[in-house]
C-alpha cells in the first residue's frame, strides 16, 4: 500500500462502528471486565495487550492513532501523549537515569533545551550541545556515560538537516540510543527509523492535526522493547492523549497528503520569490538548491513542508515592527502546521551555545498556509514596502 492510501484507510474499522466512517471518541476512565481471568490477562499483557484496562492506559482512539503512526513510520508501535513537548520529555526521561549524559543538537526547539537544562539537570543527567552539521564526528563528543543522542532535523529556526544516518550508525555501534524530532517532516516526507534511529518524536499539533485546534504528540519506537520503555513512562506520568484529540488528529491525518502537497508547492513559490527580492539576504529552506542542507535533504526526504526562515538586509527594529504589525494574512504566532500563514521575528543567538549564528539583519520565520500564493506574495511585498 502507498502511504497516501494508509493515511485514508489504516487505523479505522467502520464495521465495528455500525458502518460510520469515523470512530467516535470513547470517553472513559473505567473499563469493566466480566471475569477475573480476563482482567488479569489484560494487566499482565500491558502495554502490549489488545484489551483495554483503564482510560489512562489506552482507548480505542489512542490505539487507532498509535497504530496509524507506527504503520506510517515503520515502527513497532507508538505512544500518543498530550503535546509534542510531552513526547520530547518522555523520549528523553524514560531512557535516562541519574549519572547519564545526553548529546543534544544545538538547533533544537527551545523548550527541549529547557527540559535538558532545567529538568534533566535536576535528575542528575548532564547535557552537551553539539553543532547540527557534525555528522559522524559526533563520536568525538562521547563520554563513557553517554546514553542518548538527540537530533532535530531540520533544526528549529534555521533548518539545518542533520546526517541522521551517520549519527545513528555511530550511536548504534556504541550502544547509545538515538532519537530524532521529525516534526517538520511528517512520515510522508521522512521516515527516520529507516535511517537508523531508535525513536521518532512528532508534535502532531502541527501538520498531522493541521488546523491549529489541538495539542498532541507521539513517540514512535523501532522495537517492542523500546516501545515498552516509553509507554510505561507515559503511563506513569498519566499523560495519555485525550480521546477527542485523537479523533481530531485522525481526521486531520486523513487529508495530510493533499495538504502537505499544497504547503510544499506554495512554499517553493514564495521562497523563490523571496530569493529574488533585494530586501532578502538568504532563505533557509532545505528544498532550495542554494541551501547548505540541500544534498542531505535530497538524500533523506521525499518532500518539504511550509516552514522556513528568511534573513533580511540590516534594517531598524521599528521597520520590522511596521512590516509585521501591518500584515494582512501572515499573523504572528508560534505553533505552525495549520492552514494559516504565520510570521515571527526569531533570534537563534538567544538559544544557541555550540554553533555560531551570524547575521547582520533580522531573521523572520515564516509558515506558508493554504492561502493563494498571489495573495501571500502581495502581503509580503506590501510588508517590505513598510520596512523603509
Ligand X SMILES: Cc1ncc(COP(=O)(O)O)c(C=O)c1O
Residues in contact with ligand X by CB under 6 A are 83-85, 88, 109, 152, 156, 181, 183, 203, 205, 215, 217, 335
Closer of 52 and 308 to ligand X (Cβ) = 308
Output the residue with the shortest Cβ distance to ligand X.
84
User: Nearer Cβ to ligand X, position 105 or 280?
Assistant: 105
Q: Which residue reads 493563494 in cell numbers?
A: 372
* Max Cα distance, the chain (Å): 75
Q: Give the containing element (helix H, strand E) for 5.
A: helix 3-9
Report the C-alpha gap between 126 and 122 in whole angstroms: 9
CB of 370 to ligand X, least distance (A): 19
Q: How far is the CB of 192 from ligand X (least distance, A)?
A: 13
Determine contact, residues 103/130, Cβ cutoff 8 Å: yes
Instruction: Please report how close the Cβ of residue 206 comes to ligand X at its closest, in angstroms.
Output: 7
Nearer to ligand X among residue 42 and residue 247 (C-beta): 247
**Residue corresponding to grid cell 515503520:** 74
Distance CA 31, CA 58 (A): 10
Q: Sign of the CA dihedral 39, 42, 43, 44?
A: positive
- Cβ of residue 360: shortest distance to ligand X, in angstroms? 26
- Pairing mode, if any, of strands 146-152 and 126-130? unpaired
What's the closest the beta carbon of residue 201 comes to ligand X, in angstroms?
7
Residues paired with 203 in a beta bridge: 217
Helix axes 373-385, 256-275, angle to 10 degrees: 40
CB of 205 to ligand X, least distance (A): 3
Nearer to ligand X, 85 or 312 (CB): 85
Amino acid at each position: 500500500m502507498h502511504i497516501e492510501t494508509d493515511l485514508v484507510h489504516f487505523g479505522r474499522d467502520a464495521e465495528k462502528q455500525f458502518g460510520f466512517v469515523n470512530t467516535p471518541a470513547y470517553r472513559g476512565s473505567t473499563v469493566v471486565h466480566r471475569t477475573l481471568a480476563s482482567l488479569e490477562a489484560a494487566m499482565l499483557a500491558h502495554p502490549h495487550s489488545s484489551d483495554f484496562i483503564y482510560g489512562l492506559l489506552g482507548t480505542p482512539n489512542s490505539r487507532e492513532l498509535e497504530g496509524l503512526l507506527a504503520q506510517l513510520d515503520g515502527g513497532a508501535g507508538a505512544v500518543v501523549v498530550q503535546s509534542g513537548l510531552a513526547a520530547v520529555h518522555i523520549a528523553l526521561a524514560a531512557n535516562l537515569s541519574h549519572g547519564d549524559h545526553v548529546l543534544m543538537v544545538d538547533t533544537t526547539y527551545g523548550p527541549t533545551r529547557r527540559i535538558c537544562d532545567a529538568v534533566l539537570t535536576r535528575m542528575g543527567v548532564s547535557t552537551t550541545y553539539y553543532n547540527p552539521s557534525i555528522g559522524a564526528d559526533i563520536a568525538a563528543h562521547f563520554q563513557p556515560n553517554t546514553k542518548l543522542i538527540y537530533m532535530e532535523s531540520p533544526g528549529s529556526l534555521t533548518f539545518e538537516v542533520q546526517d541522521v544516518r551517520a549519527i545513528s550508525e555511530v550511536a548504534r555501534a556504541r550502544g547509545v540510543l538515538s532519537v530524532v524530532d521529525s516534526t517538520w517532516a511528517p512520515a510522508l516526507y521522512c521516515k527516520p527509523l529507516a535511517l537508523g534511529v531508535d525513536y521518532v518524536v512528532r508534535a502532531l499539533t502541527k501538520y498531522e492535526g493541521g488546523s491549529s485546534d489541538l495539542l498532541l504528540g507521539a513517540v514512535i519506537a523501532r522495537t517492542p522493547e523500546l516501545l515498552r520503555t516509553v509507554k510505561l513512562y507515559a503511563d506513569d506520568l498519566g499523560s495519555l492523549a485525550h480521546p477527542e484529540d485523537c479523533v481530531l488528529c485522525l481526521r486531520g491525518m486523513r487529508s495530510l497528503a493533499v495538504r502537505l502537497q499544497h504547503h510544499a508547492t506554495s512554499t517553493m513559490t514564495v521562497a523563490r520569490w523571496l530569493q529574488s527580492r533585494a530586501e532578502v539576504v538568504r532563505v533557509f529552506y532545505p528544498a532550495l538548491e542554494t541551501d547548505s542542507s540541500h544534498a542531505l535533504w535530497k538524500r533523506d526526504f521525499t518532500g518539504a513542508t511550509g516552514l522556513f526562515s528568511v534573513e533580511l538586509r540590516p534594517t531598524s527594529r521599528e521597520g520590522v515592527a511596521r512590516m509585521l504589525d501591518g500584515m494582512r494574512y501572515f499573523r504572528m504566532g508560534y505553533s505552525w502546521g495549520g492552514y494559516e500563514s504565520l510570521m515571527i521575528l526569531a533570534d537563534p543567538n538567544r538559544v544557541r551555545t555550540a554553533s555560531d549564528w551570524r547575521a547582520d539583519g533580522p531573521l523572520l520565520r515564516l509558515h506558508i498556509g493554504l492561502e493563494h500564493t498571489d495573495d501571500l506574495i502581495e502581503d509580503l511585498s506590501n510588508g517590505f514596502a513598510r520596512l523603509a
